[in-house]
Every structure is written in structure tokens, then in C-alpha cells.
């Protein structure tokens, strides 16, 4: 692989990460797994990179009783840092407990914030983070509104109030609309940050730069040159400790409705007029509106559920044998779909999307397969058909981009080989990409909504998928596939009936 020297042409602050302004973060669900695994680690990463304000602090709110010291001890067990950074960071963490439905709890929070503001010299800019089950979103949002924590002036730092919400944003179209209406009774849309951490991954962001920053690719990014596009999010893990959540969600709600459709939108959307947050989000929404209505027919979408199988030489349980899963569960752990976009750019180009658990490898990628050359001049050499050029955006585990193309093999005889021009973030820049949560947390504190989902984006996605969910609730069980397998016949037929094949997992 050739070495690529990164060349920075931008000047000023464009390439420099701006540190967060003075603010405090109030995390609901602070005693939960998400806060420990993602938020605290993300905030600590920002702290070590000097991207948090010296006045920053976090107040954790939860139902479990902890003292400040007990909460800090839990945080230390997560970050496990002994290089001198953790002590000062942990002093910025506080905790209070109560009932999310009790108005008195929010008066306690207000009093605690007033005290902590004085200690840290904070000016009343609060970021409320909902790391809680969606069943209590409504109670927290309503009580924040009733307690006066709403409708701040986003232009006035002393009145900066923001709401960051973790998915899922509803269970279907009706519940998503109801949740948005409830939010808007207490917060303006400009204050609301709906997180999809997938959008903060380096390669996902680079799709925009790659498409709209290079004149050689955008002219061929359309139906005239692209044969089809595959988007894959494959996981080796099962449901692990998330069975309670997964039994209510399934792969369509957990991954497809948000991560996969967002990747599709970024890959296929029209060029925005500028890099401003709402101009980018406007184009994503126009693209989602162009997706042809999705039926529940197996020509459009299929679902599967993993059974007992073998992975890395070890036998693993099937989904229905996992702890916390109903023995007759119909929840899907695999979804494959064919989507068509009815607009000028993509008319007739299929987008094949698939996601699943207990698959052979952990891979997330967007693969753009271009049309084959219209006429091969090499038939006299015995080469009747050349392979398609494929452009691959690797999102995980090794973030990067590769382009497969045809070239002559060395030697006197004319032999053609498929070569890959490969770029890896780690190899080129010499550093690991920061965790995606660091990016979304920093953007939330800086008031940049580019990587966050807007209310109409959520509703359009649910409107597309709700008919499928309704059919599945009435329909028979999903197809079965053994753990460790990359697919199953019905999913293969979805793409093979078009004369194409899934990329190997």
C-alpha cells in the first residue's frame, strides 16, 4: 500500500477542534450502563485533549442512590487512568438521585446546580442529556419544562439550554410524532440534539468530503455510472446484556431505522448549498422523501433470527436461548432490504442494506459498485468480462477508504488483475480516530447540529418503516440462520434475483 502524506490546505480554525464553551452537563440515567461506557469515557477523552472548559462539570441524575464519592469511584473504574489526568476530572463529577416522575426531584436538581455553578464559575449554560429508557423520556422532558429548564435563548450564553436525546426516538411513526410534539412544547428545535453516534465516525463524515470535495468523483456519482450500492452493518456479538431492550426493538428499530438510513442519506443526497448544519440536513431529508415506499414483500425486505451455531470454534446459543428472551420470540436479529430512490440521480439504481447479529465478522461499510465497461477490447486475450470498480468506505473496525480497479500484472504476457488503492486513517495519520461520542458531545456543547438528527428526519424514516413493522407483527416468525453464518437463502435471493451478490462478510 502506497504511503499518503496528509496535506492540510485550510487555514484559521477550520482544521482545529474548537474547545467547548463554559457549560454544565446534567445526565439523566447517570447510574446506567450507557453513561459509564460511553459518556464518562467520552468526556474524559475530551478533558485529556483540553477540549472541555475549565468551568465544566457534570451532574449525574439517577434512581440509584450514590454519594458523589461513590459515583466518582464508578467513573474511575471505567476510565482507569493513572497518568495524572483522572484526579482533576473526577472532581468535576457529581451525583443526585430521585424519581423522574417527581417534580420535587427537579427542584433538588435546580438547587444543586446553583451551588455547583458558584463552585465552578459556571454561567447557567446547561446541557440536559437523556441517557434513559424511552419510557421515561416524557416524564423528564415535561418536568424540565415545568421547572423552568426550557426555551433558553440560544444566542445568549447565560441562557444556553440544550437537550441531547439518545435513540430510540419512538417505536413507529405515531410514537415518533408524539415524542417530537412533546419535546417542542418545552424546547425549540434549535435546542434539540438527537444523537446518532454513527454519524460521528470519521469515515461517515468523510463521505461528504469525498463526494463534494473531489471533482473526479461527483460527476460519476449517479445512475449513469453506478450499478448498485451495498450498505452493511455486521456484528459478531449477540444481544449480550441488552435482551430486555432488544425484545422491544429488534434489528429494524435498533440499527436500520437510524444508522442505516442515515448512511444511505449521506451517500445518496444532493450537494448542499453550504456546510451549514441545516443545509446538510435539508438535503438528507429530501433524499429520504425520495425513497420508494417500502412494502413488506420479500422482494423488498426480509428478516432473520440467529439460532445455535459456531463462532471462532465455540458453540454459541441461539437468540431464543439468550437470557431474557422469550422462548417463542419473533424479534428479528437480521434485516436485509432493497431500496429504490425515485429521483433524477438514482432512478433505477438499487441500494441493498443489511444488518445482523452473530455474523462471521464485525464489519460496517458502504460499497459503491460501478457499472462495467460497455465493451471489452480484451476478448481476444480470453478476457470476456472485467470486474466492476468498487469504492468502499470502511466505517469499522479499520476506518478507511479503498478503490478496486483493473490493472496489468507485471510480465510480458497481458494479464489483468484487480488491485486495491487503500487508505487507512490509522496508517496515514498515525493516530487512532477519537471515539465517536467525543465528537457528538463536543458538537453538542458547541451548538453544532450537523451530526444530529432533525425532527422531520426521524418522522420520515419511521413513516417508511412503520408499514413493515405492522406487517411483521401480524406475520409469521423470521427466517432462521445459524450463528456464524453470513446470510440465509431468503436474504440471498433478495439480491441474487437481480443478478448481483452480497459482498462477503
Rounded CA-CA distance 279/105 in Å is 39
pLDDT of residue 345: 96
Nearest to 206 by CA among 429, 425, 7: 425
More confident residue, 436 or 187: 187
Instruction: State the chain's mean pLDDT as an integer.
Output: 86
What single DSSP character describes residue 454?
Answer: -
Neighbouring residues of 62: CB distance < 8 A, sequence distance ≥ 6: 28, 29, 30, 31, 32, 95, 97
- In DSSP notation, 250-285 reads HHIIIIIIIIIHHHHHHHHPPPPSSSSHHHHHHHHH
Task: State how far the alpha carbon of 257 is from the alpha carbons of 170, 171, 271, 446, in Å.
Answer: 11, 10, 23, 27
pLDDT of residue 276: 84
**CATH 3.30.360.10, the chain: domain bounds:** 199-435+460-496
The helix or strand, by DSSP H or E, that contains position 111, with its residue range, turns out to be: helix 103-120
pLDDT of residue 200: 73
Nearest to 365 by CA among 292, 436, 264: 264
Q: Are the C-beta atoms of 250 and 333 separated by less than 8 Å?
A: yes
Indicate whether 484 pLDDT > 50: yes
Indicate the pLDDT class of residue 411, thresholds 50, 70 and 90: low
pLDDT of residue 8: 40
Beta bridge partners of 194: 165, 453
β-pairing, 350-356 vs 192-195, is: unpaired
More confident residue, 301 or 151: 301
Contacts 24+ apart (CB under 8 A), 408-414: 414/378, 414/381
Q: Are the C-beta atoms of 255 and 356 separated by less than 8 Å?
A: no
Is 197 marked active-site? no
24-166 folds as Rossmann fold (3.40.50)
pLDDT digits (tens, 9 = 90+) for 423-456: 877 777 666 666 778 888 888 888 888 888 899 9
Indicate the pLDDT class of residue 2, thresholds 50, 70 and 90: very low
pLDDT digits (tens, 9 = 90+) for 265-310: 999 999 998 888 889 899 999 999 999 998 777 789 999 999 999 9
199-435+460-496 folds as Dihydrodipicolinate Reductase; domain 2 (3.30.360)
Please tell me the number of Cα atoms within 13 Å of 376 on its side-chain side: 15
- From the candidates 241, 259, 299, 314, which is the catalytic residue? 259
Rounded CA-CA distance 272/212 in Å is 9
Nearest to 485 by CA among 338, 305, 303: 305
Contacts 24+ apart (CB under 8 A), 294-300: 294/337, 294/339, 294/464, 294/465, 294/467, 294/468, 295/467, 295/468, 296/467, 296/468, 296/471, 296/472, 296/475, 298/490, 298/493, 298/494, 299/338, 299/494, 299/497, 300/337, 300/338, 300/339
pLDDT of residue 244: 85
pTM: 0.89
pLDDT of residue 287: 96
**CATH 3.40.50.720, the chain: domain bounds:** 24-166
Amino acid at each position: 500500500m502506497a504511503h499518503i502524506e496528509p496535506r492540510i490546505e485550510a487555514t484559521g480554525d477550520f482544521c482545529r477542534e474548537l474547545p467547548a464553551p463554559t457549560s454544565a452537563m446534567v445526565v439523566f440515567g447517570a447510574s446506567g450502563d450507557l453513561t459509564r461506557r460511553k459518556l464518562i469515557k467520552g468526556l474524559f477523552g475530551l478533558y485529556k485533549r483540553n477540549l472541555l472548559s475549565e468551568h465544566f462539570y457534570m451532574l449525574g441524575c439517577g434512581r440509584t442512590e450514590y454519594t458523589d464519592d461513590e459515583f466518582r469511584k464508578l467513573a474511575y473504574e471505567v476510565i482507569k487512568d493513572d497518568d495524572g489526568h483522572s484526579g482533576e476530572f473526577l472532581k468535576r463529577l457529581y451525583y443526585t438521585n430521585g424519581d423522574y416522575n417527581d417534580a420535587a426531584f427537579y427542584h433538588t436538581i435546580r438547587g444543586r446546580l446553583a451551588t455547583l455553578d458558584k463552585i465552578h464559575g459556571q454561567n447557567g449554560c446547561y446541557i440536559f442529556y437523556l441517557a434513559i429508557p424511552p419510557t421515561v423520556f416524557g416524564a423528564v422532558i415535561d418536568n424540565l419544562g415545568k421547572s423552568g429548564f426550557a426555551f433558553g435563548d440560544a444566542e445568549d450564553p447565560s441562557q444556553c439550554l440544550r437537550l441531547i436525546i439518545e435513540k430510540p426516538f419512538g417505536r413507529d411513526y405515531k410514537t415518533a410524532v408524539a415524542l417530537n410534539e412533546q419535546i417542542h412544547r418545552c424546547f425549540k428545535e434549535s435546542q434539540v440534539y438527537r444523537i446518532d453516534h454513527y454519524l460521528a465516525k470519521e469515515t461517515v463524515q468523510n463521505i461528504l468530503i469525498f463526494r463534494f470535495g473531489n471533482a473526479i468523483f461527483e460527476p460519476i456519482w449517479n445512475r449513469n455510472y453506478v450499478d448498485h450500492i451495498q450498505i452493511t452493518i455486521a456484528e459478531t456479538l449477540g444481544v449480550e446484556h441488552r435482551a430486555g431492550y432488544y425484545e422491544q426493538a429488534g434489528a429494524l428499530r435498533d440499527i436500520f431505522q437510524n444508522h442505516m438510513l442515515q448512511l444511505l442519506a449521506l451517500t445518496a443526497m444532493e450537494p448542499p448549498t453550504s456546510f451549514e448544519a441545516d443545509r446538510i440536513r435539508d438535503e438528507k431529508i429530501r433524499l429520504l422523501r425520495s425513497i420508494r415506499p417500502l412494502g413488506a414483500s420479500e422482494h423488498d425486505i426480509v428478516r432473520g433470527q440467529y439460532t445455535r451455531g459456531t463462532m471462532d470454534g465455540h458453540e454459541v446459543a441461539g437468540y431464543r436461548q439468550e437470557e431474557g428472551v422469550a422462548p417463542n420470540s419473533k424479534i428479528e436479529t437480521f434485516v436485509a432490504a432493497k431500496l429504490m430512490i425515485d429521483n433524477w440521480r438514482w432512478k433505477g439504481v438499487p441500494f441493498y442494506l443489511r444488518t445482523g447479529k452473530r455474523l462471521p465478522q464485525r464489519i460496517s461499510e458502504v460499497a459503491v459498485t460501478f457499472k462495467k465497461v460497455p465493451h471489452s477490447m480484451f476478448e481476444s486475450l480470453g478476457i470476456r468480462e472485467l470486474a466492476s470498480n468498487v469504492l468502499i468506505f470502511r466505517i469499522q473496525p479499520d476506518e478507511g477508504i479503498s478503490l478496486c480497479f483493473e490493472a496489468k500484472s507485471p510480465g510480458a504476457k497481458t494479464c489483468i488483475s484487480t488491485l486495491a488503492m487503500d487508505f487507512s486513517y490509522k496508517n496515514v495519520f498515525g493516530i487512532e480516530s477519537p471515539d465517536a461520542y467525543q465528537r457528538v458531545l463536543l458538537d453538542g456543547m458547541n451548538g453544532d447540529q450537523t451530526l444530529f438528527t432533525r425532527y422531520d428526519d426521524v418522522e420520515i424514516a419511521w413513516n417508511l418503516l412503520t408499514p413493515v413493522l405492522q406487517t411483521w407483527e401480524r406475520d409469521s416468525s423470521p427466517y432462521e440462520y445459524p450463528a456464524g453464518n453470513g446470510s440465509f437463502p431468503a436474504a440471498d435471493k433478495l439480491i441474487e434475483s437481480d443478478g448481483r451478490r452480497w459482498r462477503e462478510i
